[in-house]
């Protein structure tokens, strides 16, 4: 076994044996599925002026809306992977056993990413399936020009893959910020504030330019543009550029975290 | 030999609550993270409120008066001077301001000059002309006798309970009234409901009308110079608005044996400049963000004791655990309330000049004053919201004992409704705003808006219920398990 894999194995053992990990992974899938199912169930064509008037409803996005809640569990998982080591001083032990810090951080990232991408895929595909089952019951049917959710549809496929990638990038962001602040409460508040607050502030801004700018430049609102399958012209930012904005945030947080990890004493 | 009397050095537990309060206050004040949370909360609230004010503009005061002229009219021509009389038998109460009465109008197009007298279900008899504010007559509703008399350009309105003794309600000069005017019966009813339509994934709202029906008899048009008896015609003046189901709320009329039945919907007059922004709530909007720091404070105030093992010392000093929780709750609640109150006042003062610069000024948006009970309630309510939210967070933190889990849970509960609500149907969003702890923010409402989910005090009650349950569980948890 190469040296790098030993680092990965070490991180895997640490993460696997902590009780919160399993709970958080379960919460990721549960939140994603639960809220997605609720959203698909709450919307019906009866609210539209005509049954076909609901054709503009972005059903894939609706079915995948559970990530708004699911991502919180991902943030906690990623931040805890770093901050608990500082809270309990395990980090000194880790670095004593394995002094190459770049590899330690990369191994941590690999393990967290693998877990998040795996559970994320599960939650996202499950949400799509739930939507596929629930939506026809709300009269979103072919006759009303809303085809059933299907991965064969290219925008739906993009939304699905993009949402999984979104969760992965959120994990990177959580790890990076966790490494910068090294304190659980501070890391969680920072990341959750970065993600959720712009969406809450935006409706308060009546000035169109300000609002659009906030939605375009914030990690969550820009990143989740990847879920849009309809009305792409009216979005503040396109799907892939939006995910790019999130990637820029996550990448910067990761780089700053890695640099500080390398520079500071544990 | 004398034995020294034993004096216990520790005072008994019952006396110690004051000391306990002092101990908790010292912890709150001197622990770096809790102090930071308070500073951060103040800073975020002010910053976000000012940012929100800077990013919000309106030109509502520049758009001029907003005239509406929409009603069902049963009319015949009247040339020169004369009068029109009718007995309003019944009026359907679709809303407090539905109107049934008489009108003299220069033409049949919306905006034509007019004078009218009408009865309303809640505000008695009203006389109105030229889209100006109306004049009150007798306070009783239908049945009532009404009369309009034209003398040149001057129109006088009368009302009577029996059709014989008449009382003058008011008179108006309609300068541009042509020689040949249209006179007759009119019925209208302002929007009373909201029409919610989901289109293209967005929820849109508009006013919905419900036509009101009124019956009249003894209708009489009496020209001063004799003229042949004219026939009645009817039409909707203005384009009828939608009903709740989207169909147009058109009016109608029929006559049988001298009794007229008239149905119509709409409104007549000048609406106040059309802004319905709740500027006080907007000024305090920073609370949405600042509350995150307060949540962290409430959680960490307890969990940091567990993280550092300090809780064992605390319980050694004060073995009665319920009292420790109570002391923490009192100190935290009072501290957050005080900070919240000053921050809310500061936010109101700091954002007002920005709002004024961006168009939010009188007449549509007069300066809010603390003498207005709603504004006062919003300011105190903001502080109460934050204090009770902190207690809720303290309860959750005590139950879970871990900062990560508690912060996540509370933030998810308070933040997610406003985030996932945005793309859920309106009624689901309102339901979330009624049942989650965020309902407490209803204290900030100072205007009646369609998207108000719950009344102010009821909303605070919902939050209090969450806090009570959390603190109850916390007490049970503290008694049951060792730290």
Q: What is the pLDDT of residues A110-143, one digit of tens each?
A: 999 999 999 999 999 999 998 888 887 776 776 6
Geometric angle at alpha carbon B468, from B462 and B470, rounded to 5°: 105
Kindly give the pairing relationship between strand B202-208 and strand B99-105: unpaired
Average model confidence (pLDDT) for chain B?
86
C-alpha B5/C-alpha B8 separation (Å) is: 10
Each residue of A30-60: pLDDT tens digit?
A: 989 988 888 877 776 666 666 666 666 788 8
- In this predicted structure, the answer to whether residue B8 has a pLDDT above a threshold of 60 is no
User: Which chain B residue shows the shortest CA-CA distance from A81?
Assistant: B404
* Residue B223 β-bridge partners: B82
Residues B322 and B432 in one domain: yes
Nearest Cα neighbor of A189 from B350, B334, B41 is B41
Task: Please report the pLDDT score of residue A60 as a whole number.
Answer: 86
Most distant pair of Cα atoms in chain B: their distance: 132
User: Which chain B residue shows the shortest CA-CA distance from A68?
Assistant: B420
- In this predicted structure, the answer to whether residue B9 has a pLDDT above a threshold of 60 is no
C-alpha B468/C-alpha B481 separation (Å) is: 20
C-alpha B11/C-alpha B20 separation (Å) is: 12
Question: How far from A31 is each of A70, B215, B350, B435, CA to CA, in Å?
Answer: 5, 58, 40, 18
Q: Where does residue A217 rank: exposed (0-12), middle (13-18), buried (19+ CB within 10 A)?
A: middle
When pLDDT is averaged across residues A53-79 and rounded to a whole number, the result is: 86
A184 vs B51: CB contact, 8 Å cut-off? Answer: no
Residues B267 and B281 in one domain: no
Task: Please report the pLDDT score of residue A125 as a whole number.
Answer: 93
| Chain B residues within 8 A of A200 when measuring between CB atoms | 288-289, 415, 418-419
Q: Is this model's pTM higher than 0.90 or not?
A: no
Residues B314 and B453 in one domain: yes
Element housing A179 (H / E): helix A154-181
Each residue of B381-433: pLDDT tens digit?
A: 999 999 999 999 999 999 998 888 888 889 888 877 777 776 677 777 788 88
- Say which residue, B348 or A19, is predicted with more confidence: B348
The SS3 assignment for B80 reads coil
Is there a cis peptide before residue A232, judged by omega within 30 degrees of 0?
no
Facing A204 at nearest CB: one of B56, B197, B299 = B56
> In residues, how long is chain B?
483
Is B12 part of any domain? no
Geometric angle at alpha carbon A208, from A205 and A214, rounded to 5°: 65
Task: Please report the pLDDT score of residue A91 as a whole number.
Answer: 85
In sequence order, what DSSP letters do the residues of B163-184 get, joined into one string? SSS-EEEEEEE-TT--SEEEEE
Task: Please report the pLDDT score of residue B376 as a whole number.
Answer: 93
Question: How far from B191 is each of B96, B238, B249, B264, CA to CA, in Å?
Answer: 11, 15, 10, 12
Residues B293 and B424 in one domain: yes
Q: Which residues contact B10 (CB under 8 A, 6 or more apart)?
A: none
Residues B102 and B185 in one domain: yes
Residue B198: band (very low, low, confident or very high) from pLDDT cuts 50, 70, 90:
low
> In chain B, helix, strand, coil percent, each to 5?
45, 25, 30
The SS3 assignment for A121 reads helix
Q: Are B443 and B414 in contact (CB under 8 A)?
A: no
Facing A47 at nearest CB: one of B33, B57, B425 = B425
Q: What are the φ and ψ backbone dihedral angles of B157, each rounded to 5 degrees?
A: -110, 140
Q: What is the DSSP letter of B319?
A: -
Distance (Å) from the alpha carbon of B57 to chain A's nearest alpha carbon: 6
Residues B119 and B202 in one domain: yes
When pLDDT is averaged across residues B74-92 and rounded to a whole number, the result is: 91
Dihedral sign of CA atoms A16, A83, B388, B352 in order:
negative
| Chain B residues within 8 A of A80 when measuring between CB atoms | 404
Q: How many angstroms from the chain centroid is the CA of residue B216?
A: 36
B57 vs A185: CB contact, 8 Å cut-off? Answer: no
Is B7 part of any domain? no
Residue B298: band (very low, low, confident or very high) from pLDDT cuts 50, 70, 90:
very high
Task: Please report the pLDDT score of residue B15 as a whole number.
Answer: 58
> In residues, how long is chain A?
266
B296 vs A35: CB contact, 8 Å cut-off? Answer: no
A residues 63..82 contacting B (CB < 8 A): 65, 68-69, 72-73, 75-76, 79-80
Residues B289 and B254 in one domain: no
Runs of H (alpha helix) within B309-320: 310-317
Is B138 part of any domain? yes
Distance (Å) from the alpha carbon of A174 to chain B's nearest alpha carbon: 13
Each residue of B456-467: pLDDT tens digit?
A: 899 999 999 999
Is there a cis peptide before residue A255, judged by omega within 30 degrees of 0?
no
Contact status of B435 with chain A (Cβ, < 8 Å): no
Residues B33 and B123 in one domain: no
Contact status of B234 with chain A (Cβ, < 8 Å): no
When pLDDT is averaged across residues B25-29 and rounded to a whole number, the result is: 88
Kindly give the pairing relationship between strand B259-264 and strand B212-223: antiparallel
Residue B445: band (very low, low, confident or very high) from pLDDT cuts 50, 70, 90:
confident
Tell me the percentage of chain A whose pLDDT exceeds 90: 38
Is B102 part of any domain? yes
- In this predicted structure, the answer to whether residue B347 has a pLDDT above a threshold of 90 is yes
Task: Please report the pLDDT score of residue A135 as a whole number.
Answer: 80
Q: Which residues contact A4 (CB under 8 A, 6 or more apart)?
A: A103, A106, A107
Residues B25 and B142 in one domain: no
Range from A10-19, A203-212, B383-392 that averages highest in pLDDT? B383-392
Q: Are B72 and B252 in contact (CB under 8 A)?
A: yes
Task: Please report the pLDDT score of residue B200 as a whole number.
Answer: 55
Task: Please report the pLDDT score of residue B132 as a whole number.
Answer: 85
Residues B316 and B436 in one domain: yes
Kindly give the pairing relationship between strand B193-199 and strand B202-208: antiparallel
Residues B170 and B215 in one domain: yes
User: Which chain B residue shows the shortest CA-CA distance from A201?
Assistant: B52
Residues B225 and B353 in one domain: no
Q: What is the DSSP letter of B142?
A: S
> Of B232, B252, B271, which marks where a domain is finished?
B271
Facing B403 at nearest CB: one of A53, A54, A184 = A184
Q: Are A140 and A146 in contact (CB under 8 A)?
A: yes
Question: How far from B438 is each of A195, B77, B292, B380, B447, CA to CA, in Å?
Answer: 18, 59, 12, 16, 18
Nearest Cα neighbor of B268 from B139, B126, B479 is B126
* Structural domain total, chain B: 2
Interface with A, mutate which of B404, B421, B423, B444 (most A CBs under 10 A): B404
Task: Please report the pLDDT score of residue B208 as a whole number.
Answer: 83
- In this predicted structure, the answer to whether residue B271 has a pLDDT above a threshold of 60 is yes
Which residue range forms the structural domain that includes residue B132?
Answer: 66-271
- Say which residue, A14 or A43, is predicted with more confidence: A14
C-alpha B13/C-alpha A61 separation (Å) is: 58
When pLDDT is averaged across residues A75-98 and rounded to a whole number, the result is: 87
Question: How far from B360 is each of A209, B211, B377, B402, B442, CA to CA, in Å?
Answer: 18, 34, 21, 45, 22
- Say which residue, B54 or B145, is predicted with more confidence: B145
Each residue of B171-180: pLDDT tens digit?
A: 889 888 898 8
Residue B95: give its domain's CATH number: 2.60.120
Nearest Cα neighbor of B104 from B91, B94, B93, B113 is B113
Tell me the percentage of chain B whose pLDDT exceeds 90: 38
In sequence order, what DSSP letters do the residues of A28-75 get, joined into one string? HHHHHHHHHHHHHHH--GGGSSSGGGGGG--HHHHHTTTHHHHHHHHH
Task: Please report the pLDDT score of residue B134 as a whole number.
Answer: 85
Task: Please report the pLDDT score of residue B127 as a whole number.
Answer: 92
Q: Which residues contact B80 (CB under 8 A, 6 or more apart)?
A: B150, B179, B223, B224, B225
Contact status of B296 with chain A (Cβ, < 8 Å): yes
Residue B330: band (very low, low, confident or very high) from pLDDT cuts 50, 70, 90:
very high
Each residue of B42-80: pLDDT tens digit?
A: 998 999 888 888 877 777 777 666 788 899 999 999 888
Q: Are B178 and B106 in contact (CB under 8 A)?
A: yes
Is B2 part of any domain? no
Q: Are A97 and A69 in contact (CB under 8 A)?
A: no
Task: Please report the pLDDT score of residue B331 as a whole number.
Answer: 96
> Of B255, B271, B287, which marks where a domain is finished?
B271
Distance (Å) from the alpha carbon of B67 to chain A's nearest alpha carbon: 24
When pLDDT is averaged across residues B183-212 and rounded to a whole number, the result is: 78
When pLDDT is averaged across residues A70-88 and rounded to a whole number, the result is: 90
Contact status of B246 with chain A (Cβ, < 8 Å): yes
Joined together, the tokens standing for residue A95 give 């670095």
Is B71 part of any domain? yes
- In this predicted structure, the answer to whether residue B201 has a pLDDT above a threshold of 80 is no
Q: Is B111 left (phi over 0), alpha (psi -120 to 50) or beta?
A: left
Tell me the percentage of chain A whose pLDDT exceeds 70: 92
B residues 249..278 contacting A (CB < 8 A): 277
Task: Please report the pLDDT score of residue B203 as a whole number.
Answer: 64
Distance (Å) from the alpha carbon of A162 to chain B's nearest alpha carbon: 19
Task: Please report the pLDDT score of residue A52 as a whole number.
Answer: 63
| Chain B residues within 8 A of A54 when measuring between CB atoms | 198-199
Contact status of B405 with chain A (Cβ, < 8 Å): yes
> Of B271, B292, B316, which marks where a domain is finished?
B271
Residue B359: band (very low, low, confident or very high) from pLDDT cuts 50, 70, 90:
confident
Is B9 part of any domain? no
- In this predicted structure, the answer to whether residue A13 has a pLDDT above a threshold of 90 is no
When pLDDT is averaged across residues B118-144 and rounded to a whole number, the result is: 87
C-alpha A240/C-alpha A159 separation (Å) is: 10
Is B1 part of any domain? no
């Amino acid at each position: 076994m190469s040296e790098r894999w030993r680092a990965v194995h070490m991180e895997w053992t640490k993460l696997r044996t902590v009780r919160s990990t399993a709970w958080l992974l379960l919460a990721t899938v549960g939140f994603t599925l639960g809220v997605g199912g609720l959203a698909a169930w709450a919307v019906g064509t009866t609210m539209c002026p005509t049954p076909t008037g609901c054709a503009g409803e972005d059903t894939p996005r609706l079915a995948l809306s559970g990530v708004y809640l699911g991502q919180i569990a991902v943030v906690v998982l990623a931040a805890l992977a770093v901050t608990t080591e500082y809270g309990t001083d395990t980090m000194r032990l880790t670095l004593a056993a394995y002094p190459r810090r770049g590899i330690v951080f990369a191994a941590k990232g690999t393990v967290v990413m693998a877990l998040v991408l795996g559970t994320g895929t599960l939650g996202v595909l499950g949400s799509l399936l739930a939507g596929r089952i629930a939506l026809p019951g709300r009269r979103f049917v072919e006759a009303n020009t809303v085809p059933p959710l299907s991965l064969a549809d290219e925008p739906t496929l993009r939304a699905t893959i993009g949402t999984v990638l979104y969760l992965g990038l959120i994990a990177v962001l959580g790890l990076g910020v966790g490494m910068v602040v090294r304190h659980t409460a501070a890391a969680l508040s920072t990341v959750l504030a970065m993600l959720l607050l712009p969406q809450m502030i935006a409706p308060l801004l009546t000035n169109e330019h300000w609002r659009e700018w906030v939605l375009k430049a914030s990690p969550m609102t820009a990143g989740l543009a990847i879920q849009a399958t309809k009305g792409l012209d009216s979005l503040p930012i396109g799907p892939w550029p939006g995910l790019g904005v999130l990637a820029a945030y996550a990448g910067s947080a990761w780089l700053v975290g890695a640099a500080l990890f390398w520079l500071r004493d544990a | 030999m004398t034995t020294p009397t034993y004096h216990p050095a520790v005072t008994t537990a019952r006396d110690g609550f004051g000391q306990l309060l002092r101990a908790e206050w010292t912890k709150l004040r001197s622990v770096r993270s809790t102090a930071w949370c308070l500073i951060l909360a103040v800073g975020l609230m002010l910053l976000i409120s000012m940012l929100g004010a800077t990013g919000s503009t309106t030109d509502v005061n520049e758009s001029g008066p907003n005239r509406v002229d929409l009603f069902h009219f049963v009319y015949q021509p009247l040339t020169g001077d004369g009068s029109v009389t009718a007995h309003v038998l019944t009026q359907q109460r679709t809303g407090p301001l539905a109107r049934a009465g008489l009108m003299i109008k220069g033409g049949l197009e919306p905006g034509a000059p007019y004078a009218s007298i009408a009865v309303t279900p809640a505000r008695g008899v009203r006389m109105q002309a030229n889209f100006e504010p109306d004049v009150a007559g007798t306070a009783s509703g239908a049945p009532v006798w009404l009369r309009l008399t034209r003398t040149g350009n001057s129109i006088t309105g009368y009302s009577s309970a029996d059709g014989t003794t008449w009382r003058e309600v008011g008179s108006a000069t309609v300068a541009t009234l042509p020689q040949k005017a249209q006179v007759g019966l009119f019925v209208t009813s302002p929007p009373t409901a909201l029409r919610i339509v989901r289109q293209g994934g967005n929820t849109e709202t508009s006013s919905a009308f419900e036509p009101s029906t009124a019956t009249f008899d003894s209708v009489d048009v009496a020209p001063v110079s004799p003229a042949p008896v004219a026939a009645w015609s009817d039409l909707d003046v203005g384009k009828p608005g939608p009903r709740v189901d989207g169909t147009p709320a058109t009016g109608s009329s029929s006559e049988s044996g001298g009794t007229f039945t008239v149905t119509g919907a709409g409104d007549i007059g000048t609406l106040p400049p059309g802004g319905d922004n709740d500027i006080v709530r907007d000024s305090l909007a920073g609370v949405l963000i600042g509350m995150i720091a307060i949540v962290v404070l409430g959680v960490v105030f307890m969990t940091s004791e567990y993280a550092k093992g300090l809780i064992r010392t605390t319980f050694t000093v004060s073995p009665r655990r319920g009292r420790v929780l109570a002391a923490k709750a009192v100190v935290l609640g009072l501290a957050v309330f005080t900070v919240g109150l000053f921050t809310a006042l500061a936010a109101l003062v700091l954002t007002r000049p920005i709002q004024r610069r961006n168009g939010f000024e009188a007449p549509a948006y007069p300066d809010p004053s603390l003498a207005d009970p709603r504004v006062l309630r919003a300011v105190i309510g903001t502080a109460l919201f934050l204090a009770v939210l902190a207690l809720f967070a303290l309860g959750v933190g005590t139950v879970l004992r871990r900062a990560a889990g508690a912060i996540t849970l509370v933030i998810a509960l308070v933040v997610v409704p406003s985030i996932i609500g945005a793309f859920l149907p309106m009624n689901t969003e309102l339901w979330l705003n009624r049942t989650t702890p965020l309902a407490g923010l209803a204290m900030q409402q100072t205007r009646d808006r369609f998207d108000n989910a719950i009344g102010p005090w009821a909303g605070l009650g919902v939050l209090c219920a969450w806090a009570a349950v959390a603190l109850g569980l916390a007490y049970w948890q503290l008694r049951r398990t060792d730290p």
